[in-house]
Amino acid sequence: MRRATISRKTSETAIDVTIDLDGTGAYDVSTGIGFFDHMLEQLSRHALIDLHVRAVGDLHIDQHHTIEDTGLAIGEAVARALGEKRGIRRYADALSPMDETLTRVALDLSGRPFLVWKVGFSQKRLGELDTEMVEHWFHSFAQAAGITLHVETLYGVNNHHIAEAAFKGVARALREAVEIDPRKADAIPSTKGLL
């Protein structure tokens, strides 16, 4: 049962997240930021991770706290659901095409958080989402989940496609990395014996 529920309450946000790593990609997401909801739905659907998110934040100030804390809560839920990480594939990568855009993602569920982000946007907003917050979400998520994550747009023009290719690419790599490897179903995938 690789599931986890996280409740994160601060003076700035109230966030509830439930995930199931062995789900079907079912989602129920509400953050108050429409385009961000759309991206989290893509993450769930393409990772085959069931995701329930309820986030209420101080959007009257800006989106920063809501997006950051949602990334932290989802990342923490992934880390908790993985437990000792016994039997997982651990490493994965994906090429994610979306029309004229191509994004490359590589990740390691190493327990050592790091983000390399080589993605650029030519506009400041997508819908009501501040595009600078896309990188910040991935940073918060990788930090809390303990993921070494590399995301690079190889080429692309349309900002919607660039953002969506990043989320879908991470989703597809995450799906593979969290899968149980039938050849090592009870082993921790590290020579250290600990991740």
How many folded domains does the chain comprise? 1
Mean pLDDT by 10 residues, the chain (195 residues): 96 98 98 98 98 97 97 98 97 98 98 98 96 98 98 98 98 98 90 87
Query: Does residue 189 lie within any of the structural domains?
Result: no
- Look up the domain containing 12 and give its range: 3-184
Query: Does residue 191 lie within any of the structural domains?
Result: no
Using DSSP bridges, classify how beta strands 148-155 and 129-130 pair: parallel, antiparallel or unpaired: unpaired
**Pair 29, 51: CB distance under 8 Å:** yes
Query: Does residue 195 lie within any of the structural domains?
Result: no
In 3D, which of 99, 143, 96, 141 has the Cα closest to residue 119?
Answer: 96
Reduce the DSSP state of residue 175 to 3 states and report it: helix
Question: Would you state the pLDDT for residue 184?
Answer: 87
Q: What is the pTM of this model?
A: 0.97
Q: Which stretches does DSSP call E strand in 21-159?
A: 27-30, 50-57, 91-98, 101-108, 114-118, 125-126, 129-130, 148-155
